[in-house]
Chains A and B, each alone.
Chain A
Amino acid sequence: NAGVTQTPKFRVLKTGQSMTLLCAQDMNHEYMYWYRQDPGMGLRLIHYSVGEGTTAKGEVPDGYNVSRLKKQNFLLGLESAAPSQTSVYFCASSPTGASTEAFFGQGTRLTVV
């Protein structure tokens, strides 16, 4: 039972490049989330999904897109990377919503140069 798996773990991008971060969970959870963590800022919600085929914006959605085509996967896309998107990205999932605990992946450290 792997839990929440993020791919890749590290990535360096040049400004303007695009990439997709993959999050996969094997716990049959309905809800999935993407957060970014910056020094001194805690975790901020980028986008989230309450079920297959649904997505919603979080606190800091600009510059990111997401898709939830399959229940177990939640993809985060950067269309044109900017240095301000240098961060550690965490994916999380929860069974039935915010009133239950969330399970986190190990993070993706992204550097945009």
Chain B
Amino acid sequence: SQQGEEDPQALSIQEGENATMNCSYKTSINNLQWYRQNSGRGLVHLILIRSNEREKHSGRLRVTLDTSKKSSSLLITASRAADTASYFCATVTGNTPLVFGKGTRLSVIA
């Protein structure tokens, strides 16, 4: 069964604005990962945050993790049209493979 649940399901913003996506999960995790999928393509890894970390940055990406609330957020700053894609969170528990949420579809309008 799916562990992560992204919110919102779809998001539309103007170029230059910030985009925030949230992920909630049900059970304790080892780490949480965010992936991007451009239309019709495979998933690309963006960032991994471990359960003992609270925040990580990578370029224009900022990820936070709140294990007490079992939630994570992905912030994309100064969005570009090229950021248009679906974004998935995936959780890792023990030695089990990645369990993905249903994703957030982000549209960045130029």
List, in ascending order, chain B residues with CB within 8 A of A106's CB.
41-42
Contact B88 A102 (CB under 8 A): no
A98 touches B95 (CB 8 A): yes
Q: What B residues does A101 contact at CB under 8 A?
A: 33, 45, 48
Whether B102 is near chain A, meaning CB under 8 Å from some CB there, is: yes
A54 CA to B74 CA, complexed, in Å = 35
A109 to B, closest residue via Cβ:
B40
Q: Which residues of B contact A33 (CB under 8 A)?
A: 97-98
Shortest distance between the CB of A31 and any CB in chain B (Å): 7
Cβ–Cβ contact B97 & A90, under 8 A: no
Given the known inter-chain contacts A45-B97, A104-B43, please indicate yes or no for A99 contacting B88, CB distance below 8 A. Answer: no
Closest B residue, CB atoms, query A31: B97
**Size of interface on A: residues with Cβ below 8 Å to B:** 26
Shortest Cβ distance from A2 into chain B, in angstroms? Answer: 13
Assess the A107–B45 pair: CB atoms within 8 A.
Answer: no
Q: Does A48 contact B (CB under 8 A)?
A: yes
Within 8 A of A (CB), among B34-83: 35, 40-45, 48
The digit string for A92-106, where 1 denotes a CB below 8 A from any CB of B, is 100001111111111
A41 interface residue per 8 A CB criterion:
yes
Contact B33 A42 (CB under 8 A): no
Alpha-carbon distance A49/B98, docked complex (angstroms)? 13
Known A-B contacts A102-B45, A104-B42; the reply to A48 vs B97 at CB < 8 A is yes
A90 lies within 8 A of B98 (CB) = no
CA distance A92 to B88 in the complex (A): 15
A43: interface (CB < 8 Å)? yes
Bound form: Cα–Cα A31–B2 in Å: 20
CB-defined contacts of A35 to chain B, threshold 8 Å: 100
Check B95 against A40 for contact (C-beta < 8 Å).
no
Q: Report 13 cross-chain contacts, Cβ distance below 8 Å, ordered by A residue.
A: A41-B102, A44-B2, A45-B97, A58-B97, A90-B42, A90-B43, A98-B95, A98-B97, A98-B98, A99-B92, A100-B48, A102-B45, A104-B35
